[in-house]
């Protein structure tokens, strides 16, 4: 019922929006700040909950079957949207998508703007005919269409349609379903090149990661110093391995970004001192090769009884026990998968036993020299 009234009133809103000039380029209607913006734009977005919230829809376990919820997921972001509904929501259906696209294969930016304004315009009449006892907000339009464009561009960037700003069905459904998963990265973080460069790179991870790689990086940060010699530390070497779906250089840039005292340019892997023999020996147990089992033992071992900072500036902190362990990967295949990448790059697929020189080469050159990444 909510579904149909949105559609009817959406038609009214199209003419309303047609009168709005759409300035370009998109200005600083910052997506990053929208969650803490107490102003009109966030009130506009929140007011959609009058017709899309667990209290105001009949079937919260299938929220996206309500057209208004498509407006809400875009203005709130999938993460904030999904957090308020029961887990395991069904994937956005083509029918629901069609309610915005008018049956076409893509939703254009203008269609979404019209749809957003139409949704807001319909709320008053929808709640007038409902018996909702929920605490309802006053429906409000956003401060300008630019705000709606900025929200839409978040989905456009993730799905990789910056050139057209129109998103096909399956990509839009993917954005809702997967953009909140850990380690799943969008095509770009922003269609604005300058903003994109200023945002830390998203690091793709396998679902089995379970946050373990991020913890390994946190451990590395305690010892990374000015990030000019990271291959002399076991945590940083293991973090380099678990970044295998990204690159060692992306890790280095992340470490540099974390150290606010270091103002130099990142020393990329090719210019880092080579892997130290002592870290290699620790990993290999004094043998001439590092085996897959060595890496499994090291990865789980280093995540057991982790450390934290007991004071001191970045890079010169005093490490002390955190009193906890993990998170560990959900499956040991996480470790064997990233070790497969290292084995493939170094040409040791058959044994997965890697000698010093080749392992040191992986750390130093895999960011810049292309080679197979699977066996
Ligand atoms: C609202 O409540 C009235 C009286 O309880 C009922 O007759 C009506 O059908 C309800 N309307 C809706 C939309 O649920
Ligand atoms: C909805 O109704 C309220 C109360 O009458 C009014 O203040 C508000 O401007 C209306 N909003 C829209 C979008 O029509
Ligand atoms: C980084 O730290 C090392 C000592 O750990 C020091 O020798 C080196 O000069 C520093 N490099 C930069 C660029 O700050
Ligand atoms: C994933 O990490 C969480 C948080 O540390 C932990 O409770 C859980 O046991 C981990 N999952 C597995 C399968 O180890």
Can you give the residue ranges of every domain in the chain? Answer: 38-198, 207-366
Of 13-22, 172-181, 205-214, 349-358, the range with the lowest mean pLDDT is 13-22
pLDDT the model gives residue 75: 97
pLDDT tens string 230-248: 999 999 999 999 999 999 9
- Measured in angstroms, how far is the CA atom of residue 132 from the centroid of ligand 1? 10
Q: Identify the CA nearest to 173 among candidates 266, 313, 65.
A: 65
Residue whose C-alpha is closest to residue 251's, from 237, 240, 263, 259: 240
The Cα 222–Cα 220 span in angstroms is 5
Testing ligand 1's pocket by substitution, the residue of 1, 2, 5, 131 carrying the most ligand atoms inside 8 A of its CB is 131
Is residue 274 a contact partner of residue 231, using CB atoms and an 8 Å limit?
yes
| Beta pairing partners, 289 | 355
How far apart are the C-alpha atoms of 78 and 70, rounded to whole Å? 10
Contact (CB, 8 A) for 97 and 3: no
Q: How far apart are CA 67 and CA 4, in angstroms?
A: 8
Residue with CA at minimum distance from ligand 2 atom 1: 124
Mean pLDDT for 287-294 is: 98
Which residue in 259, 234, 255 sits closest to 313, CA to CA?
259
Mean pLDDT for 27-46 is: 64
What are the residues facing 307 on neighbouring strands? 321
Q: How many helices (H) and strands (E) does the chain have?
A: 16, 6
Q: Is the pLDDT score of 121 beyond 90?
A: yes
Signed CA dihedral, 363, 366, 372, 373: sign only: positive
Q: Is the Cβ–Cβ distance between 223 and 341 less than 8 Å?
A: no
State yes or no: pLDDT of 370 exceeds 50.
yes
193 pLDDT higher than 80: yes
**What does the pLDDT read at residue 196?**
84
Q: What is the mean pLDDT of residues 334-361?
A: 98
The per-residue pLDDT for range 125-148, each reduced to its tens digit, is 998 888 777 788 999 999 999 999
Of ligand 4's atoms, which has the minimum distance to the CA of residue 211?
Answer: 2
Q: Which atom of ligand 1 is nearest to the CA of 131?
A: 1
* pLDDT tens by residue, 204-236: 888 899 999 999 999 999 988 889 999 999 999
Q: What is the mean pLDDT of the chain?
A: 88
Query: Cα–Cα distance between 241 and 205 in angstroms, integer?
Result: 12
For residue 95, give both structure tokens: 């029918």
Whether 29 shows a pLDDT value over 60: the answer reads no
- Confidence (pLDDT) at 6: 31
Ligand 1 centre to CA of 131 (Å) is 6
Query: 327: cis peptide before it, omega within 30°?
Result: yes
- Position in ligand 2 atom list of the atom nearest CA 120: 13
Q: Which ligand is nearest to the CA of 332?
A: 4
């Amino acid at each position: 019922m909510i579904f149909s009234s949105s559609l009817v009133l959406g038609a009214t809103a199209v003419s309303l929006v047609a009168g709005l000039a759409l300035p370009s380029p998109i200005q600083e209607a910052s997506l990053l700040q929208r969650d803490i913006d107490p102003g009109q734009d966030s009130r506009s977005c929140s007011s959609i909950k009058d017709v899309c919230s667990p209290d105001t829809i009949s079937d919260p376990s299938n929220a996206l079957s309500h057209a208004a919820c498509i407006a809400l997921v875009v203005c709130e972001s999938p993460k904030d949207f999904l957090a308020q509904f029961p887990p395991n929501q069904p994937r956005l259906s083509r029918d629901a998508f069609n309610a915005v696209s008018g049956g076409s294969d893509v939703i254009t930016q203008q269609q979404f703007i019209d749809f957003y304004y139409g949704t807001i315009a319909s709320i008053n009449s929808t709640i007038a005919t409902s018996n909702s006892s929920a605490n309802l907000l006053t429906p409000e339009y956003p401060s300008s269409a630019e705000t709606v464009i900025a929200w839409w561009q978040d989905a456009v960037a993730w799905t990789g349609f910056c050139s057209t700003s129109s998103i096909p069905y399956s990509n839009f459904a993917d954005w809702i379903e997967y953009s909140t998963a850990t380690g799943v990265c969008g095509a770009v973080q922003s269609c604005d090149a300058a903003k994109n460069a200023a945002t830390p790179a998203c690091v793709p991870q396998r679902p089995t990661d379970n946050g373990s790689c991020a913890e390994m990086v946190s451990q590395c940060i305690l010892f990374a110093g000015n990030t000019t010699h990271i291959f002399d530390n076991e945590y940083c070497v293991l973090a380099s391995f678990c970044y295998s779906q990204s690159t060692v250089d992306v890790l280095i840039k992340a470490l540099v970004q974390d150290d606010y005292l270091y103002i130099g340019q990142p020393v990329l892997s090719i210019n880092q001192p080579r892997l130290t023999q002592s870290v290699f020996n620790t990993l290999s147990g004094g043998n001439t090769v590092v085996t897959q089992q060595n890496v499994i033992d090291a990865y789980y071992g280093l995540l057991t009884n982790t450390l934290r900072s007991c004071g001191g500036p970045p890079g010169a902190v005093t490490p002390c026990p955190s009193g906890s362990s993990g998170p560990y990967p959900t499956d040991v295949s996480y470790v064997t998968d990233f070790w497969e990448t290292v084995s493939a790059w170094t040409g040791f697929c058959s044994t997965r036993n890697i000698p010093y020189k080749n392992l040191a080469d992986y750390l130093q050159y895999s960011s810049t020299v292309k080679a197979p990444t699977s066996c």
